[in-house]
A and B are shown apart, each in its own frame.
Chain A
């Protein structure tokens, strides 16, 4: 079947760098997206990778390796407001859209 795997929780220190990994298993692949969701809030779109490599947007970067079916979200200069859940998502076979279960990011002062 089709699936996405990402860690359930990650803890990091304010000011540090953290990487959230996502591996996927789909019959087709049309891009990897990342979303952020604060408690009680709406998921918000962060980034999209259709091709291999690194995409940078401010403190956030996203990487994709299609040959490894793998991507990650990199957050730099962590701030307390970055405490949230982060979801990866892909569109695969039959245009089915699949989200990961989400990674809860805890940031320590």
Chain B
């Protein structure tokens, strides 16, 4: 365990389903991030939360909806996804804010999402 825990590890969902991904960090970090990792592509930053406030939305479709109720928890709510959204979704946290990134990120092991 890295100190950043993601659940579930694997998720299969239909295009009409609604599901949520959860991320929890026990490191006392101030910033949390959602990344999408697809095969043969760079890690894509989706959302950034700094002290629970969303500071970046990297042109992500509205079918992805983040929520950060406190500095230790981050959710990604999914609805009406497309097959091309199938990927590994990684959560990360850092002590300093995004201005210090990408130094010192701690990543979770990710949720492998398959949309059928």
Chain A positions within 8 Å of B, measured between CB atoms, are 4, 30-31, 33, 35, 40-45, 48, 87, 89-91, 95-102
- B contact residues around A101 at 8 Å (CB): 40-42
- B contact residues around A33 at 8 Å (CB): 102-103, 105
| Interface size, B (range) | 20 to 34
Interface of B is mostly: loop
- Which of B90, B102, B103 has the most chain A CB atoms closer than 10 A to its own CB? B102
| Seed contacts A43-B90, A89-B102, A101-B42; 14 additional CB < 8 Å A-B pairs | A30-B99, A33-B103, A33-B105, A41-B109, A42-B4, A48-B103, A48-B104, A87-B43, A89-B43, A91-B99, A96-B45, A97-B45, A97-B102, A101-B40
With A31-B103, A44-B2: A99-B42 Cβ-Cβ less than 8 Å: yes
In the complex the two chains form, is A97's CB within 8 Å of B42's CB? no
In the complex the two chains form, is B101's CB within 8 Å of A97's CB? yes
- A contact residues around B101 at 8 Å (CB): 91, 95, 97
Chain B positions within 8 Å of A, measured between CB atoms, are 2, 4, 40-43, 45, 90, 92, 98-99, 101-110
In the complex the two chains form, is A42's CB within 8 Å of B104's CB? no
In the complex the two chains form, is A42's CB within 8 Å of B110's CB? yes
In the complex the two chains form, is B42's CB within 8 Å of A45's CB? no
- 6 closest A-B pairs by beta carbon, nearest first, are A99-B43, A89-B102, A42-B107, A48-B103, A99-B42, A42-B109
- B contact residues around A90 at 8 Å (CB): 102
In the complex the two chains form, is B4's CB within 8 Å of A99's CB? no
Q: For the complex, what is the distance from the CA of A97 to the CA of B92, rounded to whole Å?
A: 13
- Which of A91, A97, A99 has the most chain B CB atoms closer than 10 A to its own CB? A97
In the complex the two chains form, is A45's CB within 8 Å of B109's CB? no
Q: For the complex, what is the distance from the CA of A30 to the CA of B99, rounded to whole Å?
A: 9
In the complex the two chains form, is B98's CB within 8 Å of A99's CB? no
- A contact residues around B104 at 8 Å (CB): 45, 48
- A contact residues around B110 at 8 Å (CB): 42
CB within 8 A of B98: which of A31, A44, A95, A102? A95
A26 to chain B, nearest CB (A): 12
